[in-house]
Structure 1
Amino acid sequence: MHHARASRQDPPEILAIIPARGGSKGIPKKNIRPLHDKTLIEYSIDAAKGSKFLTRIVVSTDNDEIAAISRENTVDVIIRPEEIARDASSVVDAIIHATSVLKERDNFLPGVIVLLQPTSPMRNAGDIDNAIRLFLEHRCDSVISVCETDHSPYWCFTLNQQKVIPLFSKEISRKRRQDLPKTYQPNGAIYVGTLDFIIKNAGFVSDNTLAYIMPKTRSIDIDTPLDLALAEFLMAEPNNLQ
């Protein structure tokens, strides 16, 4: 029997991995940047700690400061080797490394992996549990969190020497927004799948992936100073986060 199916019978061991590299181009030291009343990574740590489903939480990092803050928050830290902590490194490499360390060191092998990127500070424990519940209750390969797109891709263009080339037919691009299909994008907050599937698939998305839909206010992905300013603004008004 395939591991993904077998793991659904009893509550599986569910591991949260928070991948947090030290390097960041858009915002220096982004993952430990203060935001409102704590550092960016602590929002993901606290959300994971509030989950009813997670068996264990680890932070995978190549950075001493991130490791220290994580340990202060009583979270297990796995130091990521430099060769899988570069800009071009895959998060799947970090998952394979973290799980192999846990197996070797603690004889711990999770049935389900939950990836929580530290750049999603608005995602809460309820979101994590809802995404995990969706995964456990359906025969799917994986679950990813998504939000509605800001702008319909049906109205998007590519450019050829400044000339606009519609991605879709003129008939579609002339339709009103309310007449177009709703479109969604990954928001980067939550990814759920079995370790077997993630390794074989080299990622979380397949043609049997389900979407956990989140509101835009909890879908902010901190990549630029503008994202950071928007998160600060929303956190100053808790009613905005409902």
Structure 2
Amino acid sequence: MSNEKTILAIIPARGGSKRLPRKNILPLAGKPMINWSIEAAKNVPSIARVVVSTDCDIIANTAKSAGGEVPFLRPSNLSSDTSSSVDVVRHMLEYFKGIGECFDYVLLLQPTSPLRSPADIQGAIDLLNVKKADSVISVCECEHSPLWSNTLDDSLSLENFIPQNVKNMRSQDLPQYYRLNGAIYLTKVEQFLQEGVLMSGNSVAYKMDSHNSVDIDTKLDFIIAETILREKTHE
């Protein structure tokens, strides 16, 4: 990506969390969880600004201490369980437009993906340039093939649970599936404002290592992420 293109990194960090209270600032391998995303973004030279959207004073102060910008506290109508990332991104872009600052690309970085590295972010930016795409979304390999999955009704019957042509296949012979990992959403601002989605029609996938793709939603996720981070610091 040429130096003329500007990127705004947005880290959304709502104060409320039912499954893992205060998860965005829980101490993770020696620092608040949100710090990992802020520091990763700030170590990518092509990112112009790293801002945090939050409704919580404590998160705001933590983010500022880590070098993130918090231009305002997010309004309550964008801080409920039903608030979408799209609304948060649009709100931040409108704020900057209101003060005369516009960006070519917006980069959404969920703080619950703390193992995402600066190299991952830069890799997604480079891929956007090479593919001339409107957006790049991070993915990782599925832990288990969805071909061995299905829904169950109240009978719990496994009849036709797995298609006959898949039933006798070895796992290593199944096609590799990928899933969105929630770590990186990089999209052209113009396209985002027109379509209102982070994944446009001209999107490409940035493949991430599964170890860097841990998305923290539960206590178990947190333990896994902390174990991986502590192992990395001792390598």
TM-score category, normalised to shorter length: over 0.9
Measured in 2, the distance between the counterparts of 1:31 and 1:160 equals: 36
Contact 2:38-2:67 at 8 Å conserved across structures: no
- The answer to whether the aligner puts 1:14 opposite 2:13 as a matched pair is no
- Which stretches in structure 2 are left out of the alignment for 5+ residues? none
Aligned to 1:200: 194
CA-CA distance at 1:179 after TM superposition: 1.7
For 1:29, give the aligned amino acid.
R
- The answer to whether the aligner puts 1:90 opposite 2:84 as a matched pair is yes
CA-CA distance at 1:72 after TM superposition: 1.6
Measured in 2, the distance between the counterparts of 1:55 and 1:27 equals: 31
Contact 1:158-1:164 at 8 Å conserved across structures: no
Higher mean C-alpha displacement, 221-230 vs 194-203: 194-203
> How do 1:138-177 and structure 2 match up within 5 A?
138-161=131-154, 162-164=156-158, 169-177=163-171
User: Out of 78, 93, 100, which is 1:99 matched to?
Assistant: 93
Identity across the alignment (%) = 42
Could you say what the CA RMSD is over the residues aligned between the two structures, in angstroms?
Answer: 1.9
Contact 2:78-2:87 at 8 Å conserved across structures: yes
Measured in 1, the distance between the counterparts of 2:78 and 2:159 equals: 38
CA-CA distance at 1:234 after TM superposition: 1.1
CA pair 166-43 structure 1, distance change in 2 beyond 3 A: farther
CA-CA distance at 1:19 after TM superposition: 0.5
SS in 1 for 2:16: coil
Measured in 2, the distance between the counterparts of 1:113 and 1:134 equals: 15
User: Out of 97, 101, 112, which is 1:119 matched to?
Assistant: 112
Aligned to 1:5: none
> In proportion to residue count, which structure has more strand?
1
- The answer to whether the aligner puts 1:222 opposite 2:216 as a matched pair is yes
CA-CA distance at 1:10 after TM superposition: 6.0
CA-CA distance at 1:167 after TM superposition: 6.8
Measured in 2, the distance between the counterparts of 1:147 and 1:184 equals: 5
User: Out of 65, 90, 105, which is 1:72 matched to?
Assistant: 65
Aligned length: 233
- Which stretches in structure 1 are left out of the alignment for 5+ residues? 1-7
- The answer to whether the aligner puts 1:81 opposite 2:75 as a matched pair is yes
CA-CA distance at 1:104 after TM superposition: 1.2
With normalisation by structure 1, the TM-score equals: 0.90
> How do 1:172-187 and structure 2 match up within 5 A?
172-187=166-181
With normalisation by structure 2, the TM-score equals: 0.93
